[in-house]
Structure 1
């Protein structure tokens, strides 16, 4: 496999670890920092998502002018500083500030990573390469989040963020030496406004939002559910995340097929299956063993949905790929922010089952929406 693809995959794993790690260790962090509940600590996750969204809108388009590789290097330095500050936090407020800054770094890094993946992919193999890079999220779950749950349990949550800081510097060294594409996609300024004028982008972004809201509305409260409602230790959340990650990685077997199927039809199918999954989750949420059985299927479906939405967006306008992928990250991480806040009252009152019900409704709406969008909006011919 191409060394550049492997490096980008590893970087996705490191960046993704921070965006996912707080949920399974929220109970430990809350106890250490004197928060009223694990759900209160998740405010830091919401602010991280808001930081990603803001940076993806304002700063990610700069990759079209200065190059995605250069943008990625600067973003990772900022992320490392924010992770060090997270490890040193002694109040919830300090953690929220540090995670907001981490969000800014990730908001530039993630669009740059997806842009680089599209740039280095051979023609006709975009979904395969993007799918491989997306499996970095599996690394973040299997190697990052799962390990972090054990580290938090036995050593303390501060070591989790300290380890992530070290991991960022570990990938920065080979990134500085790697010969990545340096071409500038655009000689003129791009922005969210110019990207929003691209034909087909609005339905694609709505699909991203619905995918993100459904996922994070459940995932962000999964760790707290196990701790508070099922009386399970933090490490059990790590096992669930491990199984999700294995499902996410296993979906790579289908990435080649995605290059040949209509993206809208494929997304409609994935959202239909997600609707079914969330309905099953309502029934399974009262049993840890049932959750263990169904969680790998969630990983498979999320991988395929993410690959299809990213592939759709990267093909719309290569000259504005940085701005477009910035919008993608902004929408996805606004979903983190919105889902964390909107789902919280329901989770606090009714538990994880109501979160599954809301996500099922969103996924069902997504099925109808993406099918209607095919009739109203142009979609790249390579994926129709």
Structure 2
């Protein structure tokens, strides 16, 4: 019986990881294709770039508006509906003839992702063997690494070879395959929470402190990652290949960290939140200090990916365990905080980089995480 359950859990983890890969590929692919999209639509990069904003708005709105209902619907149903919305969005993006249509399609995709991610993380915890929730969560989170290291380069190569529309069409096909994979998941019953669950989730012990950690973590990540490639190219030349090495190093580090996930369950993921954020602050300072040496910077980028994996795993695991009956609502708040952090980074990181350079950006990220450490350390009193 135990062997059967372990195999079932392993299959579910693989399916849920594949879903994160699809979501990650969609999330990351728009930015590198933006110049081609703008040219294809006969518009400027600024107008085409509004699709990025629409995608983020859709995710946050979906997480906040639909998140209160997530615990009242079976997880598999939520995943199928959310991935279906993403399939429509990617197909619509491939067919878009105007930037406004592209933005609308990306808004729909954001709505789908806003429920897919919390449902994925919730179901991962619920199907994990006893005492292995952090390990299962960490494995599912490696989907982001796979998307960054493999999915996005393949999509951009396809975009260069046959056009950006083909890249979106391929993503639409992947969404369809993923829906078929979701159908293999067990038909679990809904936990039963109804409307108004977000307020109750926010009041659950520990949730506000962990959400503050997520907001700091994501603001720091998106702010630094957005300009790390620019900074390393300005400092060392080499064009897009140099920036690609940075993304590769980070992605490899993020994926390699999965080998320590079983230790997180043994040590207790909740008690590791504050130390992980503190260590991550040190990594950002080190990134700021090593920008002048390409080899050192790339080595630190690998460590950055590793520590970021641990930090994200303990944050998501902590939130998933905070209020089991409201798990979907809590993780919807996590998704809102994640993309809220991205919005904060988008508003503040650019001006800071232009005014003071990459070093100041790394130090600012470290300070933000340092402020979050005591909040995370006192999370049980929230």
The verdict on a shared fold, with TM-score over 0.5 as the criterion, is yes
> Are 1:9 and 2:17 counterparts?
yes
Deviates more, 1:335-344 or 1:50-59: 335-344
Q: What corresponds to 1:182 in structure 2?
A: 188
Q: Select the residue among 74, 77, 84 that pairs with 1:70.
A: 77
Q: CA deviation at 1:246?
A: 1.4
Question: For this pair of structures, how many residues does the alignment match?
Answer: 374
Q: What corresponds to 2:347 in structure 1?
A: 341
Contact in 2 for aligned 1:146/1:238 (Cα 8 Å): no
The verdict on how the C-alpha distance between 1:263 and 1:5 changes in structure 2, with shifts beyond 3 A counting, is: closer
Q: Select the residue among 116, 135, 152 that pairs with 2:142.
A: 135
- Going by fraction, where is helix more abundant, 1 or 2? 2
Q: Select the residue among 221, 242, 250 that pairs with 2:256.
A: 250
Q: What corresponds to 1:205 in structure 2?
A: 211
List aligned pairs for 1:35-46, cutoff 5 A: 43-46=50-53
The verdict on how the C-alpha distance between 1:265 and 1:124 changes in structure 2, with shifts beyond 3 A counting, is: closer
Deviation string for 1:72-127 (max 9, x for gaps)? Answer: 10110111111122233455444333222211110011011111101111111111
The verdict on how the C-alpha distance between 1:21 and 1:236 changes in structure 2, with shifts beyond 3 A counting, is: farther
Q: Show structure 1 runs of 5+ residues with no match.
A: 378-384
Distance 1:34 1:357 in 2: 39
Deviates more, 1:62-71 or 1:344-353: 344-353
Q: Show structure 2 runs of 5+ residues with no match.
A: 1-6
Distance 1:95 1:293 in 2: 38
> Are 1:167 and 2:157 counterparts?
no
Contact in 1 for aligned 2:69/2:193 (Cα 8 Å): no
The verdict on how the C-alpha distance between 1:170 and 1:370 changes in structure 2, with shifts beyond 3 A counting, is: same
Q: What corresponds to 1:267 in structure 2?
A: 273
> Are 1:308 and 2:314 counterparts?
yes
Q: What corresponds to 1:366 in structure 2?
A: 372
List aligned pairs for 1:102-113, cutoff 5 A: 102-113=109-120
Q: Secondary structure at the match of 1:259?
A: helix
Distance 1:150 1:48 in 2: 23
The verdict on how the C-alpha distance between 1:179 and 1:82 changes in structure 2, with shifts beyond 3 A counting, is: closer
Taking only aligned residues, the RMSD between alpha carbons, in angstroms, comes to 2.7
Q: What corresponds to 2:4 in structure 1?
A: none
Contact in 1 for aligned 2:220/2:368 (Cα 8 Å): yes
Q: Secondary structure at the match of 2:272?
A: helix
> Are 1:320 and 2:326 counterparts?
yes
